[in-house]
């Protein structure tokens, strides 16, 4: 597949995944979704080996657009070279009481998608961690650490963005109690 066509397809795949995740994962307006994305994997390569800034820009724009369309906020996880810090809009970080860390992502140190997302936000910062309401893991980037407890895997009829494996999860409240506990209000 031609590079431009692959970028368009991957962007459409990601927008579809955000729509599915917000609906099926019951992500409420104002919720936070984390995206981890390997452009190397999306393009058919091996994670961390073929970072693609153009693909990163296409996916960052698609993610931002899809989050806005569904009334949720997004953050993008950097790669392990920045300890999987996250790019987030400063106002969202402040709203959630998150502490800023000092770094600026670049394609080879942070990842192409995180780097592009950083450059497109109005007032971007990096934070060390979040407790998101849901997450999208494109290319096995390990975003689970940034989803609040209890993360529930979400299966769809599609399982890829471009050539990359897609895993989705949403958070549900913890179930507490013993054998007599009930989880719904009954008359």
Domains of the chain: 3-171 (3.40.50.10360)
Q: What band does 49 get if pLDDT is binned at 50, 70 and 90?
A: confident
Alpha carbons 95 and 25: distance in angstroms, whole number = 22
Residue 1: predicted pLDDT: 65
Number of Cβ within 10 Å of residue 104's Cβ equals: 14
Residue 91: predicted pLDDT: 97
Number of Cβ within 10 Å of residue 185's Cβ equals: 5
pLDDT tens for each residue of 174-183: 888 877 788 8
Alpha carbons 75 and 118: distance in angstroms, whole number = 9
- Is the CB of residue 35 less than 8 Å from the CB of residue 144? no
Please tell me whether residue 87 adopts helix, strand or coil conformation. strand
Alpha carbons 50 and 59: distance in angstroms, whole number = 15
Residue 175: predicted pLDDT: 83
Provide CB contacts within 8 A for 106, sequence distance 6+.
115
**Phi, psi at 152, each rounded to 5°:** -115, 120
């Amino acid at each position: 597949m031609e590079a431009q066509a692959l970028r368009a397809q991957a962007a459409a795949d990601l927008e579809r995944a955000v729509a599915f995740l917000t609906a099926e994962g019951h992500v409420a307006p104002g919720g936070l979704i984390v995206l981890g994305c390997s452009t190397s994997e999306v393009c058919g390569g091996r994670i961390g080996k073929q970072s693609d800034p153009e693909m990163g820009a296409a996916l960052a724009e698609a993610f931002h657009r899809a989050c806005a369309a569904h009334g949720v906020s997004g953050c993008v996880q950097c790669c392990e070279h920045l300890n999987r810090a996250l790019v987030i809009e400063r106002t969202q970080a402040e709203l959630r009481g998150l502490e800023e860390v000092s770094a600026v992502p670049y394609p080879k140190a942070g990842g192409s998608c995180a780097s592009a997302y950083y450059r497109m936000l109005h007032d971007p910062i990096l934070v060390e961690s979040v407790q998101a309401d849901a997450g999208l893991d494109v290319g096995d980037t390990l975003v689970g650490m940034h989803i609040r407890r209890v993360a529930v895997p979400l299966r769809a009829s599609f399982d890829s963005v471009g050539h990359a494996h897609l895993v989705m999860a949403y958070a549900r409240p913890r179930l507490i109690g013993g054998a007599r506990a009930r989880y719904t209000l009954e008359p």
